[in-house]
Structures are given as structure tokens and as C-alpha cells.
Structure 1
């Protein structure tokens, strides 16, 4: 039985992004050897969206209150890269990692699976 998921974040500055995930977002980590950090993540959910283009995967962090979370992130020096938009299923924005990559952030408004 599948008991979890392992997400990969490809980075042009992995050390700084690892420090960001650990120090700014507060994700617990273990050293898998030689400083290679593996981060524990909050509970997750998976959605499959139809597309006419190339299949892709995207990462979105979720929060209970997007305005409060944005304020906390900005106090830590995190750049919010998109204004909050109401997509119906949730309130959506994005934040910039030290490497320049963006990660989506949203406050879900859709029904949530049990255990979330």
C-alpha cells in the first residue's frame, strides 16, 4: 500500500532553497547524508486537472488564512510574486524561493479530504 509521497524541487541554488524551507517555512528535516536534507511536509492532497497541453506537475503550499500567512512570510523577507486572486476553489498567490523559483500558495475553499 502507498503510504506517502516524495516531491522533488529542482533548484539552481539548492543550498539556499533548503535553508529557506528549514529556516523560513519551518519544515523539519533529516540529513540523508552529506547535507542532503529530506523535509517533512504537512498533510497533502492531490488533484488531477485536465489539460490540452503538455502534462506537468505543480506544487502549492496550503494555509488556513492567506492574508495572515502572507504577512508572516513578508515579515521574514519572503517575496510574494502574485496578487491574491479568488479562483473559486481557493485564494491563490505565489512566493519566491531564494533560487528564483516560485511556489504556489493557496487558502482552499473547496471540500477537503478527511484527515486534512
Structure 2
């Protein structure tokens, strides 16, 4: 039986992005060896959206996206997309230290992670 999910973020600077998850977000982690950190994530859910081609997106969920943006900005994070309202909630996108991006959103729909 499937008992979890493992998310991989590919990065041009994995050390910096690992430091972000460890130091800025404060996520608990294990060291799989040689500084290869694997982080415990908050509860999760998966949605399947229509698309013209295969793609994946990682969004971290929060209760108040604007307050979270303000807090992360105060910790030096850069947002490349401001908070915008979308049909299913409010969303912003931050720039990871390694150059990638990460979505942050406040759902305005029933959430599955509480099931």
C-alpha cells in the first residue's frame, strides 16, 4: 500500500535551497548523508488539472497568504508573482535561492488533507 509521497525539487543550487527549507521554513529533516537533507512536509493533497501537456507544480498551502508573503519577505525572500486571486484561492510565487520558483497559496475550497 502507498504510504506517502516524495517530492523532488531540482535546483541549480541545492545547498541554498536546502538551507531555505531548513532555516527559513524551519522544516524538520533527516540527513541522508553528505548534507543531503530530506524534509518532512506539512499535510499534502494532490489535484489533477487539465493541461495541453504534462507538467507539475508544487504549491505550499497557508491560512493567510498575504501574512505569509510579508513574513517571508521580511526574511529576505523575493516574490516573483505577487498575491493574486485565482478561482480556487489566493496565490503568490517566490524565487528559491537556487533560482527556481515555489508557489504559495491560500485555498478557498474544501481541503483534502484534513480527511
Same fold (TM over 0.5): yes
Separation in 2, partners of 1:25, 1:13: 17
1:17 aligns with 2:17: yes
Matching of residues 1-116 of structure 1 within 5 Å: 1-52=1-52, 54-113=53-112, 115=114
| C-alpha RMSD of matched pairs (Å) | 1.1
1:114: Cα distance to partner?
5.4
What is the aligned length? 115
1:81: Cα distance to partner?
1.1
1:6: Cα distance to partner?
0.1
Length-normalised TM-score, structure 2: 0.95
Length-normalised TM-score, structure 1: 0.94
Change (3 A) 1:51 1:91: same
Give unpaired runs (5+ residues) of structure 2.
Answer: none
In the TM superposition, what whole-angstrom CA distance separates every residue of 1:16-46 from its partner, at most 9, and x where no partner exists? Answer: 1100110001111100111110000000010
